[in-house]
Structure 1
Amino acid sequence: MKVVFMSGGTGSRLWPLSRSSVPKQFIPLFQDEAGNMEAILARNARLMLQKFSPDDVLVSSMAEHEEQISSCLPWGPRIIVEPERRDTFPSICLSSLYLLDELKLPEDELVCFCPADLYIEEDFVDLLAAMPQRLDWCQVNIALLGIEPTEPSGKYGYIVPQLETAHPAGPVYGISQFVEKPALDRASELISEGALWNSGVFMFRLSFMKQYVQSKGDPASYPACLASYSSLPAISFDYEVLEKTPDIVVVPFHGRWTDIGSLDRLVDTMGHPHFESKVYRRDTEAVTAMNLTDVPVVCIGVSNLMIVATDHGILVTSREACDDIKLLLAEQPEITEDPKP
C-alpha cells in the first residue's frame, strides 16, 4: 500500500503561526522523544516509516513547498506537485493518475490518502498498516478510518455507521450517513448513536479512481489531468466522491488522534506551549500566550485569551472565537501579506 500525505493546505486558522508561504505542517511545533522540535509532517512521516518503506510514503503539495518538504523529510520522498491550490478532489485525482502513469503501479494497488497535519500515535499507524487485509476481505470501493469521539464537537465531520461486519482483526461497518460539522446538541445525539469523527483518512484501489474520473468524463491520464487541472471542480473528495459512492466502509479507531485545525486544538495537543519566552503575566486566568518574537508580551488582569505573537502578525482572541480568524482573513486578505522590508 502507498501512503500519500496531502500537504496542500495553508492552515489559515493557525495564523499568524501558519501562513501561505510556511503552512502549519512545516513549522517545528512538537517535541520528539529526544526533546528536539519537529514539524507535524516530519513527525507523522517518522511514525509511518515504522510500518512502511520510504518508497511507499509520498507527499502531494505545491511546487513552492518542495524545499520545505525536503527539509522535513530528509530521505527525499517523491513529491506529486499540484499546479495550483484547489481542493482535495482534484488533488487526489492527480495523485492517483500519477501513481498509475508515472510510477506504473498496477490498478489493483491500494493507496491511502492522509492529511499531513493530523496528530497521530503509533497505534494509528498500526491500524493503517493492517487495513489492506480488511479491504481484501470486504471487497468495497473505499474504506475510511473513523475516530471514536472524546466529546461533542462541532469542529469535525461525523460518520454514522451501520451494519457491523465481524473481521478477525476487528469490526468493519457500513455507513448510514455523513454529517458535516453539526451543532453541539446534534453532535451529542450523533455520538449517542455511535457516530465517529471523520479522520479525513481513506483508502481505495487505483482502479476505483480511474473508473470514477472516466465515468465523469474528466481526464483519465496523468498528463491530461495535469494540463487541465485548473478546470477540474474545486471541491472536496468527501462531497464529490464519498457521499455519492456505494460500498463504503468505516473502521473505528479508539486511540489518540487530533486534527491540528485550529489554535485551541494545537494548544491542547502540545500541552504547555513551547514558545513562551518573554511572556509576562500578572493577575491572569486561562491565558495562553505564544511569543515567537524578540519583544516582550505582557498580560495584566485578563482572562480566557489566546495570544500569538510573531514577526508576521499578532493575534488576540478568546478560545471560543479562535476559529473565526479564517473568516476574518477571507474578508481582509491583506492581513496575510508578508511585511515589506
Structure 2
Amino acid sequence: MRVAITGASGLIGRALEASLLDDGHTVVRMVRRLPRVQHTPGVEEAEWRPEQGRVDTVALHETDAVVHLAGAPVGPALWTRHRRALIRRSRVRGTRTLCQALAGMDRPPPRLLSASGMHYYGDTDGRTATEDSPPGTGFLAGVCRDWEEATAPAVEAGLSVALMRTSVVLDRSGGMLRPLLPLYRVGLGGRLGSGTQYMSWIAMRDHVGALRFLLEHPEITGPVNMCAPEPVSNADFTRALGRALGRPAFLPVPATAMRAALGDFAEETALIDLRAVPERLLKAGYSFALPTIDRALSDILARPVPSTGA
C-alpha cells in the first residue's frame, strides 16, 4: 500500500509509519514545509499547509489511503481563549482543507481515516458509550463534533471515511504515561480526585493494530471507538501502574488543586467520567492484543523506549 499520513511526526504517526515500513508499504509524510529528498527506503514527503488552504494533491495520486492525525496538543495547559482557538482551528480547518482537496481530485485516495476524540461523548456519568451514543457537552465534545463534520466533502465525494474516536493512548515514549513513570517510580503516584471516574484507554500496540485493521477493511465507515474493551476507573489505573512498577501509589491529587492549576482542562480530561467500548471494532473481528490494563502496562514497560521518543 501507499499511505499518506498527516501528523506523521507525532506519537501515533511515528508508530504507524514504523509499522507500515516494516511490512514493506510506502509512507508519504504530509509536512508543513518544503518537502525534502528522503533517504529512508519507502518514505516520501509531500507539502500541505492547512492554514493557507494548500495541499499537494499531485503527490497523493495513486495513494491507497490517507491517515489524518494532525492537530495541536490539547494539554496539559490552561485553556486560554487563544489556546482554545488553536485546538479547534488546527483540527477543524486542517480536516476541512484536506477533505476539500481530496474531493477535488480526479482520482482521490479511496480510503480516509480521520482522527477524532473520545471526548465526543463528554462526561458519560457511569454509562457505557458506544459509537451509537449521542454527543456530549463541553468544549472538547464540541470540537470533536465540528472535527468530524469537517470530513463531509470527502464523504460526499465518495471516499470511504472512518472517524477514529481515540481514547488515552498508552506508550512509554510519550502521551500521558511518559510523565507519570518517573513519579510512580519514586512512590509519588496516586489517584486524581476521587478516582472513581472512568478512563477509556488503548495501548499503542493496539492503536496501530486497529489503524492497520481499518486500512484493510474499507467497508468500516463512520465513527470507530479506538479504545480497549475494558475501561478502568482512575483508581484502578493508579493501582495497576503501581503494581506494574512494584511501587506504592497512595498520594492522591485533590480535584480542587487540579481545577485551580489547570481549570477546564482538568475538568474535561483528568476528572471527567469517560467510559466507552470499541463495539464496532469487536463486531468487525478485530482481536485486541492487550485488552486489559494489567497486560497492557506489563507489555509497555517491558519494551525499550524508541530513540525517536527521546
Does TM-score exceed 0.5, indicating one fold? no
TM-score by length of 2: 0.34
Greater CA radius of gyration, 1 or 2? 1
Structure with a larger share of its residues in helix: 2
